[in-house]
Structures are given as structure tokens and as C-alpha cells.
Amino acid sequence: VLPLTENIFNSLRTSGTKRPISIIEVIKNIAKGMKCKEITKYFTLDKEGNPLKSHPAVPPEDAKWCHDFMYDSDPPVTFHRACLILRRRLFPFHYDPYPWVKGRDETNVEVLKSLMAIYLHRAEVQNLRGLKEDPADFNSHLYQPELGGKNKQSVPDCERIISPGVFKFLEKKGHTSGATVLKLLHNWHKAVDGRGLSEDQRSTYCEELKCWLLDDWMPWHREVKDYSQIDVNRPVKGICGLTREVIVSLLANLESRELRRIEYIQRNIKPRSSSTDDVESFISLLHEILGLNFDLKQVFSELPKILNEFRKKTDKDLQFYY
């Protein structure tokens, strides 16, 4: 899932032979395939204080810390214990990393593979940060923004399932948590496609949905918003039954929209320019001038007149604005 662009997400989600997959799953599969003896060498120092074997994703200073913690503690701690504490240090103080296997104590092999999954993910983040063109900033945003989604949407289905009538029914039946979720999704839909909302209100609705998702997946996001520190071992499934790919696509959509909103403010661009409102207005104007059926040649032929009429309808500073 991370780091990710919408284009990469759309291609990656269809790469599974039986179901959609995410980049987190790819990274975890790489970690699963690594041998315990090989990983151990990354965290074991030789007589000169260097790792027995280096890996580009594992910082040498972390291997040194692990070694010093083992032998400088009184009494000395085991390698297994040192790896557990090292993994704990990779996240905010109040967060306990998600175990490789839940419900029992992890073995040394499982802790090492969990560590490698974290390091592999963060190394990929650093690679994207270092791109010469369009570097990613995962301290502030979930993914490298890129508008290129190809997923089709069904507005009628959305309006039927996520509607005030449905969540009022759920509230009446006592299903308050389900109603709350539907309200969040309903408000997000209004923020994206609704009309008559201020940009601040749209931003608030998107932020509320994003917080609901991240409260489960990245509990410390309200205090430390650093997406590069997401716990790749923590499952994202189980958030109200939503699948991993839905969670990822929702977060990518929410982050992308907030980035665009900020960009519009900085560039002094009309917030809803090229949105559904403007596109529908332009299409209706084409029908008004060219008729119900027309082709591209007719559009280009009448384009100056079309744009002039469109400007009259949108530019209030014109004398003939209407």
C-alpha cells in the first residue's frame, strides 16, 4: 500500500492471481521468504564493530544499538529480547508494534521477519523521497499524489446504500456504530460530488473519514503524522469489514483531494474548477449550441463561440455576465 500512487495502485491491485494485492503484502512476502540466519547477520557485529552482512534497508546504527543493548545491559539480554526492543523503538513511544503472529509469543524467526518487513518498507519510502523528479513527501502525505484512477464508480448504488434513510433506519434499530460509518461515507460523498458546500466543509468531511480510517490503522496519527512510520505488520482488514484495497484507495483519494485544495488556494484557482459542476455546465452548453448529437469536428469548428458563451456564464466581471 505504501508508498503508492493511484496509477501504481490500480495496476498492482490486479496483479494477484486470485484477488487484489497491495505493496505491503508484496513486502511482507519478501520478508517471509528470507532465512533467519541471513537476517541475524544483519544485526550481529564482527570484532571491528561492523555487521557480519549488510543490507541496504537495515541501518548499521540500528545493528550497533542492538549489539550494545544486548551486552551493555545488566544483566545482558538475549538477542530475541533486543530485537523486540529494537522494533519497539521504530515507532512512537506509546504504540506497541503489531506482532508477526497474534495470539501467542513470537519466535525469534517471526520477530526478525517482522523487523525486515518494516525496514524494507521504509527503504522503499526513502527511494521515492530521493527521486529527482516529483519526489514523495511521506512525512505529510500518505502517498505520492498522482491523479490517474481508473476505477469506475456507481453513483446510483452509492446513493441508495449510503443515504440518510439507511443510517436513520440503523439508528432506530440500535446499530449506532454502523450508522456512524455510513454518515462518514455519506458526508465524504457530499464533499466530493455534492454542491453548495464551502471548501472548509468539504475539507472537514474528508478529514473526518480519514481520521476514522487511521484511528484503527495508525493510532498515533493525530500526534505524529508521519506516514513513513506506518506499521506494515498491522493488518488493515477488519476496519468495519472494508478490504485492504478499499482502505488504501479511500486514503489515497482523501489525501489527493486535500493536496489539490491546498494547491488551488496557493495558486488562487477557483476550487471547483474542472469539477462536476463546470463539466456538466460545459456539456449542456455544447448541446445548447450544437444540438443533441454532434461530433468532434463540429466542436472544434464552433469552439470560439462556445468558449465565449461559456465565459459569459461564468465570468461575473464581464459586462454581459448572466
Q: What is the pLDDT of residues 198-215, one digit of tens each?
A: 888 989 999 999 998 888
Are 139 and 87 found together in one domain?
yes
Residue 91 lies in a domain: yes
Are 179 and 166 found together in one domain?
yes
Are 118 and 183 found together in one domain?
no
Are 178 and 123 found together in one domain?
no
Q: Which of 111, 144, 177 is the last residue of a domain?
A: 144
CA dihedral 62, 68, 70, 72 (to 10 degrees): -160
Average pLDDT, the chain: 79
Cell of 183: 454518515
Are 259 and 178 found together in one domain?
yes
Task: Write out the residue range of the structural domain in which residue 245 sits.
Answer: 155-274
Instruction: Please state the separation of Cα 257 from the chain's center in Å.
Output: 12
Residue 89 lies in a domain: yes
According to the model, what pLDDT value does residue 319 have? 57
Are 126 and 196 found together in one domain?
no
Residue 290 lies in a domain: yes
Cell of 66: 542492538
Number of domains observed in the structure of the chain: 3
Q: Quickly list DSSP for 265-282.
A: HHHT--TTTTSHHHHHHH
Residue 109 lies in a domain: yes
Residue 3 lies in a domain: no
Q: Which residue has the cell 457530499?
A: 190
| More confident site: 284 or 6 | 284
Are 205 and 251 found together in one domain?
yes
Checking if the pLDDT of 21 tops 70, the result is no
| More confident site: 314 or 145 | 314
Contact 114, 248 (CB under 8 A): no
Are 124 and 22 found together in one domain?
yes
Q: Which of 80, 110, 144 is the last residue of a domain?
A: 144
Contact 294, 286 (CB under 8 A): yes
For residue 286, count other CB atoms closer than 10 A to its CB.
Answer: 16
Residue 6 lies in a domain: no
Are 24 and 138 found together in one domain?
yes
Residue 8 lies in a domain: no
CA dihedral 307, 309, 314, 317 (to 10 degrees): 100
Are 196 and 101 found together in one domain?
no
According to the model, what pLDDT value does residue 237 have? 57
Confidence tier at 77 by pLDDT (50, 70, 90) = very high
According to the model, what pLDDT value does residue 64 have? 95
Are 82 and 99 found together in one domain?
yes
Are 36 and 128 found together in one domain?
yes
CA–CA gap between residue 176 and residue 174 (Å, rounded):
6
Residue 320 lies in a domain: no
Confidence tier at 122 by pLDDT (50, 70, 90) = confident
